[in-house]
Amino acid sequence: MTRTPTPRPGDDNPGFEPAYLALHRSGELTKRARLAAMRMHDCDLCARYCHVDRMENLNGVACRTGAEAKVCSFGPHYGEEDPLRGTRASGTIFFSFCNMRCVYCQNFDASWEGDGEGTSARGLADMMLDLQKQGCHNVNFVSPSHVVAQIIEAVGIAAEGGLNIPLVYNSGGYDSPEALKLLDGIIDIYMPDMKYGDPETARKYSNIRDYVAINRAVVSEMYAQVGPLQLDGAGVAYRGLLVRHLILPDGLADTDIVLKFLADNISPDTYLNLMAQYRPSHKAAEYPELAKRPSVGDLRQAQELAAKYGLTRLDERLPAWMTS
């Protein structure tokens, strides 16, 4: 029997059902949770492929996260892209630690230093249900690549408790095929970064050798699972792919290469956020080329490249510093 989600004020797509509910009813979601937990004993749940038993020790584990996820913060967030925040916010759960090592990380206290609290699967499920109760349009997992197993278990508990809003997977785009296979049919909206067009740049600024090749495979798989971003009658996303690209000063991220790949290999219909809010943070001062903000000219050039490649679905808000 199909369960129709309870409409909330402002909903303009009352017949929509998140993908994970069908898996929950069939028992597949419970099976996925068991499989994901098993993979943590020889972990391949992100593209680092540490192959460490995270249930026993954290020696050599890049994400420094064991059986229990660590959460830095959670709550309604109005700073996300327009189709995610809508009128009632995106419900973010921000995980501590990260599988990347970006030298300019703006959240280094959480992503590098691990500020936050250990949280059980039941605790994560309660957060999801609380965000839904507050009226958020979605549950938005921020930096989730290293806690896929914990998320899947928690989604099963939350679904049993009445969760019925879309799930957003908001990652750095450095995920493993093994993890994405487990997430297929669970995640409604994928929101990966495409940070770089040159692997040497990724190695220099994020300490990852193979980011570009893996990132392209990740985005391709995500698109295959959910397709282009779909919006309801109120302009709020309920399924699909949304890509973020952080504009670095003086074209350091090779935006031209990234956007050409998106247009040629994913779809010109890709919803794209050209993010101009970069500011020098963490260790950026050690790299003179990163020790400044991008200019208005850098943003305009990125927008012109998007137009050149036929990428017209842009999130067009400017950061405050560009409009003041």
Domains of the chain, by residue range, sit at 19-54+63-316
CA distances from 17 to 23, 76, 162, 166, 190 (A): 12, 21, 12, 8, 16
pLDDT in tens, the chain (324 residues): 333 344 444 456 778 899 999 999 999 999 999 999 999 999 999 999 999 999 998 877 788 899 999 999 999 999 999 999 999 999 999 999 999 889 999 886 766 666 888 999 999 999 999 999 999 999 999 999 999 999 999 999 999 999 999 999 999 999 999 999 999 999 999 999 999 999 999 999 999 989 999 999 999 999 999 999 999 999 999 999 999 999 999 999 999 999 999 999 999 999 999 999 999 988 989 999 999 999 999 999 999 999 999 999 999 765 554 554
For position 63, what pLDDT does the model report?
85
**Distance (Å, rounded) from C-alpha 118 to C-alpha 116?**
7
Q: Which two tokens stand for residue 255?
A: 């935006």
pLDDT at site 209: 86
Q: Which two tokens stand for residue 117?
A: 């609290």
pLDDT at position 281 is 85
Give every CB contact of residue 114 below 8 A, 6+ residues apart in sequence.
Answer: 64, 70, 96, 97
pLDDT digits (tens, 9 = 90+) for 305-318: 999 999 999 997 65
Q: Give residue 10's pLDDT.
A: 45
- Whole-angstrom distance, CA of residue 306 vs CA of residue 300: 10
State the Cα–Cα distance between residues 33 and 78, nearest whole angstrom: 31
**Residue with token string 């059986």:** 67
In angstroms, the CA 303 to CA 59 distance is 44
Give the fold, CATH level 3, of 19-54+63-316: TIM Barrel (3.20.20)
pLDDT per position as a tens digit, 244-268:
999 999 999 999 999 999 999 999 9
Give the C-alpha separation, 43 to 125, whole Å.
23
Residues pairing with 139 in the sheet: 91, 167
Q: Quick count: other Cβ atoms within 10 Å of Cβ 105?
A: 18
Query: What pLDDT is stored for residue 32 in this prediction?
Result: 98
Cβ neighbours of residue 43 closer than 8 Å, sequence gap 6 or more: 49, 50, 51, 52, 53, 54, 61
**In the beta sheet, which residues pair with residue 191?**
170
